[in-house]
Each structure stands twice: as C-alpha cells, then as structure tokens.
Structure 1
Amino acid sequence: MTKFSADWSRRNFLRGALATGALVLPGSSMLVGCATSGGGQEATTGKASTENPLGVPTDSPIEIYIFNGGFGDKYATAVHEPMYKAKYPKAKINHKAEVDIAGALQSRFVGGNPPDFVNDSGDGQIPLGQLVSDKQLYDLTDLYDAPSWDDPNVKVRDTLVPGAVAQGTFGDKPYVMNMALTVYGIWYNKALFAKHGWQPPATWAEMLDLCKDIKAAGIAPWTYQGVHARYMSWPLMTMAAKLAGPDVLKAIDNLEVGAWGHEAIKESASALAGLRTKGYILSGTEGMDHIQAQGQWSAGKAAFVPCGSWLESEQKDVTPDGFEFAVMPEPLLSADSVMPKETLFASPGEPYIVPATAKNARGGLEYMRIMLSKKGAKGFTKEVSSLTVVKGAADGVELPPGLTSAQAALKAADDNVVNWMYNTWYGTMWNPGINTQMGDLLTGRKSVDEFVAGCEAEAKKIRDDDSITKYTR
C-alpha cells in the first residue's frame, strides 16, 4: 500500500486543505500575472501565433513529473523533453521521476502550487475523477483543437484513434490525455503452444477442453494477479459484452440499478469461477501479486494470464529465451453471442494531466502536443514498447512479438472494440470495490449471486454518495 491510496475522497482532500490552510481553487486571487485561456481558466500565456498556437510563454520554466513505473521515464528525458527544449531553448525543464505520485504531490495540489505536467499513474495515482470534481485539472479542449505538430491543417484531435479524447472526458470536457493504447486479452506463450500443438480457443467450451490437456501436460492452465484480482474483471466484462452487446457495459458505467445482475455478467462470472472448481488455476495464485503471478507464468508454470499489452515490457527482465508473447481475445461464451470472437477490450491509458493552477499550464498543453506528434509517439513506442493513441505512429517501427500480436488482434477486431469508464470515473468502486468482489468470487468465498450482490453494493455506494460527481455515457 502507498501512503496515499486510491480512495482519496473529497472529504480527505478538503480536510487536508483545512489542516494546512492552503486550499487554492482555480482562478483564485492568489494567482498573479495570469490571462484567461479559451477554456475560461487561469494560466500564464505567451503570444499565440502560427508557430506557437497555444500561446506558450517561451522563456518560462516547465516542471514535469513522470511516474517511474513499468514505462520508466526515459521516454520523457530522451524524446519529449529534448523536443520541447529544441523549440523553446530559453525554457528551463525541471524533471522529476516519482513512484508515488500522490504522496509526492498531494500537498502541492492542496496548496495551489502543483507542477505544470503530471503523469498521474501507478498504485499512488491521485484519483482522476476526484481531481476533476475538485476542479483541480485544466480543460484540454485547447490542446485537442490546436493544429497538430506535424500538419497545421489538421487538429490534434483528428490525429488520434477513435475514443482517445473520450476516454479522458468527464461530463463534456476533456481533462486527461491518455497516451498508451493498451490491448487487453488472455496472454500465452506461442512457443509453448507450438511445442504441444495447442491452438488458442475461440469458445469457452474449447477453453475448458484445452485446459484439460494443459493440466495433463503438468502445467497449470491459468494464473491471475491474485491480490489484484480486478485484472480478472477485464475478461469478465469483455466476455459479457461479447455475449449480450456493449450496452451491458454502458449500464454499469451509468450506475444503473441491477446492471451488475445482467445475465451476461452472471454467465461470465460463472465461467471464470469454474476455473477454480475444475482445478485449472495455479496453486497459490490468490496470494500472489502481479509480479509473482506473472513471473510464474513467464517461467512456464501456467499457460494463460489476463493482462494488458504492457505485460511484455513488464516481464522482459525475467522471461527466458525462446519465450514468445502472444495475446488472444477472450473466448465466446455462446455460439449465438452478439459480438464476434475477434472483439476485444482496448483502451487509451497511461494518464497525463495539466493541473488547473499550474504556473505554466500552456507549456503543459504544448508538452502534450509534442507527445502526440508522430515523432513523439514513435519515440514513446520505441522506448516503452507500447502502442499509442496517435494514428499510424507505429508504422515502420520494429515491434517485439507481444506488441506485434496485440496490433494484429486490434486490426482483426476492427470496430469491435469494447470499453468502459466506471474505473476511471469512480476509482474506489474499481479498487478496492470490484477488486475485493473478484477476489471473493475466484477463491470461492462468494457464489456468483453473492458476487453480483457485492458489485451492486459497490455501485450503490457511489450512486448514493452526493459528494461524488456522477457521469453518464
């Protein structure tokens, strides 16, 4: 646990502010030398021009905080910051890499003195929905409406894959820029499968048949990130959407009463819970964290693990030679499923924000514009082995096997890509809420009906809490 966990509520935020006597909201009189941006915000600005469409103060310093996690921070120091410095040579860049973003920046947000640009990620993430609710984030509309870095005739928003802007939108305004395009699915070692003549299953019936063969070969069919059981909610939600259509997910996002009790959710939960009762989950999984469980998978102790496409990068130091990362879409629960077998969950992720009271907010927007350039996105992909939300940015880049597999799966899915927002809008519903419920389901502490009731209770907590801003789609 980090010292500032994901359940950072509005009450805690205000309590901390009152304790320090330092709560400064956007636009307060404590900000000086400011001009109002197009979004009605306060920000120090320079003179806008064709060369400087966002009005960046060219000689103002910019302070950048990067989450030092699976992606590290080299992509910032080796790619994006040099691009910023080349365009604004008089601007000093103050770079910091932190593992615990909330622990490092809580007091600064409260005090009205945050950095200009923040990679708000990791276990110490400051809940994005709460930051929006507390008016602590800068509206990114000006960024997305600005001319793109590569073509002044094309807006930034038009260079991005569908859903990229929407994923960071709360209500009717975008507040979060998500850079990485993550493909989720069930991961396996293609070399291991080739050795045994196994084929990735297209249906759940085929999955169970294959699991029987895998177990007979002395390998556990499945593992998952035990104490982070919410990883298994990704196949749960995706298989439910395939079975009954994406409106199942929309109802959950909209906090509709009974949404978690949909028959498709129950069928999906029953399938996943059955992996335990049939003895198809690696012994000890429930007590493992993601590093341990994924390590067992990399070592060949288990055949399948659910994860996003960061997995290959995260496991690169512990994966043996000859291991070939590959991802498959979740199997269909029924032959008469509404969506095709190629359907998958893919989501813009790895969030970046500009605080509302940043001294150089326009510099923060410009830094995002640089990241969303072809050069910036291609550099990101090369450094961290992740696809990005910039269309065509990975073209010509030699990708490792796992990312090649993810890109192929995304292409095969075409428009059949599902997504959901509740985990972004309501952080505590996601963790510890659904995390706890999934853990109870997968270990047999709760039946499917009890799991559904528990998820409904988590949604009700959010629905009934008047201090939490609600969103719909």
Structure 2
Amino acid sequence: MAVGTTLAAGASLGGCAMGGGGGSDAPPRVAEGEKTADNPLGVKNGSTVELVWFKGGNPSYLPDSVDPIFRKKYPEVTLKRGATERMSQTLQPRFVGGNPPDYVDNVGADSLDLGALIQGGQVLDLTELYEAPSVDDPKKKVKDTLLPGAYENALIDGKPYVLSFYARAFGLWYDAKLFEREGWKVPTTWDAFLSLCAEMKKAGITPYGFAGKNAADYHSQVILTSATKIGGHDVMRAIDNLEPGAWTAPAVKQAAEAWAEVGARYTDKSCQGLIHTEVQLRQNQGRIALYPSGDWLEAEQKLSTPKGFTYAMMPVPSVTSSDALPVHAIHTAIGGGQTFVPAKAKNPAAAMEYMRLIFSRQGARAFTAASGWLTTVQGAADGVPLPPGMASSQRALDTAAADKSMFEGKYAVWYKPLAEELKNATLELMFQGGSGEAFARRMQKKADELKKDSSVKKFRR
C-alpha cells in the first residue's frame, strides 16, 4: 500500500483547499431540506450523497447493513458509494480542488492526515449530529445513546469531528485449538511468555509475526501497550501530548528492549516484506502462533480460516512483576475511527443522517450480526451471537472496563508523521537488530521536531 501523506503536506493541503472551508465565504450547502421531527437534519429529497469507503480485506459490513435502511427512509435520495485502498492518493486532489465527497471512511495505510485536515478547516464539526434526537428514542440525543466515553473520544479540541461507532480491543491473537492440542497455557508474565515462545519454536512454529510491509503499526501498538502497562496511563498521555522525554521514559525503553528480544529470537525476518493478509494466512496455516491485531481479525480471515482453527485473543503479558497496570489491561478504541464529513461536502445533511442511522439500534445490530464486531450503541448487541474470537475479545474488554484499565493513544490521529516514524522504528527494532535505547531516541527526536514546528497544530488530552 502507498504511504500516507505527511502532516506538513496535509497542512499545505488545508491551506490550498480552504477557500473559506468552514468560514464565512464557504460554499453554500447545496442540499438542504426542511427539518422536521422525522428529518431533524434536513435531508433534501432528490439530492445525491456520496460516500467513500476504505476497501480492505473485509467485506463492506457497515454500508451493506445501513444502505438499505437509508434507502427505505429516503427513497428519493441517491446513494453514491465508492471504495478505495488509497484514501490519500484518491481523495487529496479532491480536497485541494474543493470537491470532496460527503462522507469519508478514512482508514488504511494511505489514510488522509486527519489532524492536518482539521487544522486546515477541512472537517465538519459534527455537533449537530450528536445533539440530534436519536432514531430509537427522540427524547434522547444521539450522544446519550452511546457507551460511556464514546462521545468524549470523538472530541478533538472540544469538538466532535469523527464517527464514534466502534468498540474495539487490541491484543495477541492465537488458535485456541492449537493451544489445546499442544497443552500450551496463555501466559501472563514475561518469563512465561518467553518460555512459551521457546516451546513454539521447538515445535517448528514461528512464535510471533506481523506484517512489516503495511502493518508495522499493529506491533507498534503492542510496544506501547507494554510501556503503558509498565508505567501507567501517564505514559500514553505524555506521548500524545508531545511532552519532553515522553519517548525516552524508562517504561518505553524497557518495553522496547523486551520486544527487541522477541524480534531477535522468535520472529521470521521474511515477515518484514509481507502484507497483513499474507501473515494472517500463515497463522491460519499453523506457521505462526501469535499475531498482534484488533478484533476485526476473525471476520477479515473468515474465508481463509480452516476448519478446526478457533480464534482467541489474549492481553499482552506483563513485562515486570511491578507493572503499574494489571495484566488484563488492554489497548482499546471505544468509539475509535476516522470517519468524517468534509467541511465542503455538498450534502452534509444526508451524510450526517446516514451517520444517525448507523447509530440506530437497527443499524448497529445489523452491523454486529454481519461482522461480529461490537459498537458503541447501547444495547444494540444484546442477543446477537458472537464468534469465539470476538467473544474472547469482549470478555477482555469487559474485564478491563471493570477496573478502568483500558487505554487508548491519540498520537496516530493527531500527528501522522509521528505514526509513520513509529512504524519505521518498529521495523528497525524487530527485524534489524535495533535496541530499546535507539528506538526511544529515534522517536523522541521526531516528537521534538513536531513540537518545535510552529506550522503543526498541537493537541492535548
């Protein structure tokens, strides 16, 4: 996949394409209808709404679930639906030209730089959506029908710019049937984890693998998960806030050094040249035991998973006996995502109404039933059977939520160049004989550069 734009390029994009994007000379909303109790956002009959989705390894679960609901309610509105693997390459010229689509599912390795787009006034404030009456109970606002923290996670500088719909957990995925056959136990300590890796290697299976070509961030999250467990919530918060010494903190160095040993002893160097689906297939074939991912993995591999392979997820093992957070602490994305409405969308009312239908119980339930993924809509998954891997992920999420040991990083959304540097630093650490010290210095240098760059908007949490 193509590499995403840098923040500097994105900031330039914002400057070139602003043309009043969000200001007083912004182009009129050409598709505004009458607002009624049943149409609170003012969708205009006869209009067209263009939605662009990320085309990845997954089927189009969300649009397939929600498109029929939208079409039934608004039969006179045309849904124009497109998909691309290269969001930035495809859509950047349209933002520059002031002709973006109405709805952008901004994910993938070539995603648009959301922080830079917000800085350039290119992203619509979705307060109107979140304050609108919900589909299921008009007495409740949309934001009040979501899980605790979901709306807050959509806020950037106090305003909601993104769709806060997914409830995801990240961890290490494995074949439960393989563990059962081999008599392997899920490790909770680092010594037990390394001992398990040694057993796996002796059995002729690569203990740990991730795709270096397009998904190094899958493992970057694991490194920062270990660092946050070692040092506590302030570790991730300091990284997000570009605080001095955030990356050279002892917890980050220790986590990186621990994973450097795994890279040196228990990975297959050929994985550096593979994409995620290739590494995931190796796991399905029993050639790789442990794979870092979010809980979309099971659904993504549905067609490739052989009979007898049963997905399960474990939290990242504790690195030390004195970690600040418990072993069941997990990296989450409660409401996470970068789906947004461009400020210069021609039909923002219809795009936001589409989002309002996503937040309906019918929309969310249909999505969960099709994908097995959980959403932030309260009660929407009640009674929906989950596949085994997703069920294990949900149990992990519930356990971490019980004592508030969930955490989430914002750096990748706010500062895309930092996320890109982290991918490269991760590859060096895991495949090229890097050290925890070098990893920490490299990342701190990049963070310091961004902090000193006056053209880069700074975010805090």
TM-score by length of 2: 0.93
Residue in structure 1 matched with residue 175 of structure 2 by the alignment: 189
Q: Which amino acid aligns with 2:270?
A: G
Question: Tell me, what secondary structure is at the counterpart of 1:258?
Answer: coil
Q: How many aligned positions are there? A: 457
TM-superposed deviation, 1:25 = 2.3
Indicate the larger mover: 359-368 or 50-59: 50-59
Q: 2:346, 2:112 → 1: CA distance?
A: 20
Residue in structure 2 matched with residue 466 of structure 1 by the alignment: 454
Q: Is 1:367 aligned to 2:354, yes or no?
A: yes
Task: Check the 8 A contact 1:224/1:232 in 2, yes or no.
Answer: yes
Question: Tell me, what secondary structure is at the counterpart of 1:123?
Answer: coil
TM-superposed deviation, 1:403 = 0.9
Residue in structure 1 matched with residue 372 of structure 2 by the alignment: 385
Task: Check the 8 A contact 1:68/1:97 in 2, yes or no.
Answer: yes
CA displacement 1:151-195 (0-9 Å, x = unmatched): 112221122223323333221111111432221001110000000
Cα-Cα RMSD: 2.1
TM-superposed deviation, 1:105 = 2.1
Q: 1:306, 1:463 → 2: CA distance?
A: 30
Q: Is 1:269 aligned to 2:256, yes or no?
A: yes
Residue in structure 2 matched with residue 404 of structure 1 by the alignment: 391
* Equivalent residue in structure 2 for 1:247, among 234, 243, 247: 234
TM-superposed deviation, 1:7 = 5.3
Question: Tell me, what secondary structure is at the counterpart of 2:247?
Answer: helix
CA distance change for structure 1 residues 426 and 327 in 2, over 3 Å: closer, same or farther?
Answer: same
Q: 2:201, 2:25 → 1: CA distance?
A: 66
Q: 2:153, 2:26 → 1: CA distance?
A: 32
Question: Tell me, what secondary structure is at the counterpart of 1:389?
Answer: coil
TM-superposed deviation, 1:80 = 1.3
Question: Tell me, what secondary structure is at the counterpart of 1:198?
Answer: coil
CA displacement 1:251-306 (0-9 Å, x = unmatched): 000001100111111111111111133x2213422332222222222211121111
TM-superposed deviation, 1:240 = 1.6
> Equivalences for 1:122-141 in 2 at 5 Å?
122-141=108-127
Indicate the larger mover: 297-306 or 114-123: 114-123
CA distance change for structure 1 residues 435 and 121 in 2, over 3 Å: closer, same or farther?
Answer: same
Q: 2:219, 2:450 → 1: CA distance?
A: 22
Q: 1:385, 1:330 → 2: CA distance?
A: 22
Residue in structure 2 matched with residue 113 of structure 1 by the alignment: 99
Indicate the larger mover: 184-193 or 122-131: 122-131
Residue in structure 2 matched with residue 425 of structure 1 by the alignment: 414
> Equivalences for 1:301-340 in 2 at 5 Å?
301-340=287-326
CA distance change for structure 1 residues 404 and 467 in 2, over 3 Å: closer, same or farther?
Answer: same
CA displacement 1:70-125 (0-9 Å, x = unmatched): 3333531x321221222222222222222322233222222222222121222231
Residue in structure 1 matched with residue 21 of structure 2 by the alignment: 25
TM-superposed deviation, 1:29 = 4.0
Task: Check the 8 A contact 1:79/1:380 in 2, yes or no.
Answer: yes
TM-score by length of 1: 0.91
Residue in structure 2 matched with residue 355 of structure 1 by the alignment: 342
Gapped runs of 5+ residues in structure 2? none
Task: Check the 8 A contact 2:7/2:116 in 1, yes or no.
Answer: no
TM-superposed deviation, 1:250 = 0.3
Q: Which amino acid aligns with 1:450?
A: A
CA distance change for structure 1 residues 93 and 286 in 2, over 3 Å: closer, same or farther?
Answer: closer
Q: Is 1:298 aligned to 2:294, yes or no?
A: no
Question: Tell me, what secondary structure is at the counterpart of 1:124?
Answer: coil
CA distance change for structure 1 residues 11 and 311 in 2, over 3 Å: closer, same or farther?
Answer: same
Question: Tell me, what secondary structure is at the counterpart of 1:326?
Answer: strand
Residue in structure 2 matched with residue 450 of structure 1 by the alignment: 438
Residue in structure 2 matched with residue 38 of structure 1 by the alignment: none
Q: 1:11, 1:135 → 2: CA distance?
A: 10
Question: Tell me, what secondary structure is at the counterpart of 2:266?
Answer: coil
CA distance change for structure 1 residues 451 and 3 in 2, over 3 Å: closer, same or farther?
Answer: closer
Q: 2:150, 2:398 → 1: CA distance?
A: 17
Q: Which amino acid aligns with 1:436?
A: N
Q: Is 1:416 aligned to 2:405, yes or no?
A: yes
* Equivalent residue in structure 2 for 1:233, among 220, 245, 252: 220
> Equivalences for 1:209-220 in 2 at 5 Å?
209-220=195-206
